[in-house]
Amino acid sequence: MATTRREFLKTAGITLVASGTVMAGLSKVEGQSRSPVRIKGATIVAGVVKGEALVSSQPISFTGGMDPKTGIIRERGHAIMGQSVAGKILVFPQGKGSTTGSWQYWIAYKKGKAPIGLINVKAEGIVTCSAVITNTPMIHLLERNPLEFIRTGDIVTINGDEGWIEVIPA
């Protein structure tokens, strides 16, 4: 039996955040329903966008790792190899690889094959530059690790104007 307020809320799938406000969390237990969640983060590129999430637990290289003509991840052995980032909210730890990745991202953007929004655990320069030059809404440094609660297929809103994301489970 839950004895503290925090334990009681946890059993109900609710997280008590530092400010004392209550926020519904997404259950990690398979088979249980998950609730919508809103999490604060740090904006890199402002803007509001909503779409289907494509989640990778691995860093992504836009140079060689993504075909800029199709938006398909082509890096051998990658967690989302063969899947297209086009029109998705792309969620991944951070970028990797060459500085030409921003150029490859730009090509994908001009061909309509780039993500419509980016969420990183912690951004680095290549992905940040990619988002800035294409004005793609981007957020990072969320209050919770996005890889722990966003799943491929979830509907995600990035509100870079106000610095939060919202996740509606698929």
Catalytic residue among 19, 98, 102, 130: 98
Is residue 35 annotated as a catalytic residue, yes or no?
no
Angstrom distance (rounded) from CA 50 to CA 151: 15
What HEC string does the chain produce? CCCCHHHHHHHCCEEECCCCCEEECCCCCCCCCCCCEEEECEEEECCEEEEEEEECCCCECCCCCECCCCCEECCCCCCCCCCECCCCEEEECCECCCCCHHHHHHHHHHCCCCCCEEEECCCCHHHHHHHHHHCCCEEECCCCCHHHCCCCCCEEEEECCCCEEEEECC
User: How many other CB atoms are there within 10 angstroms of residue 8's CB atom?
Assistant: 13
Which residues form the catalytic set? 98
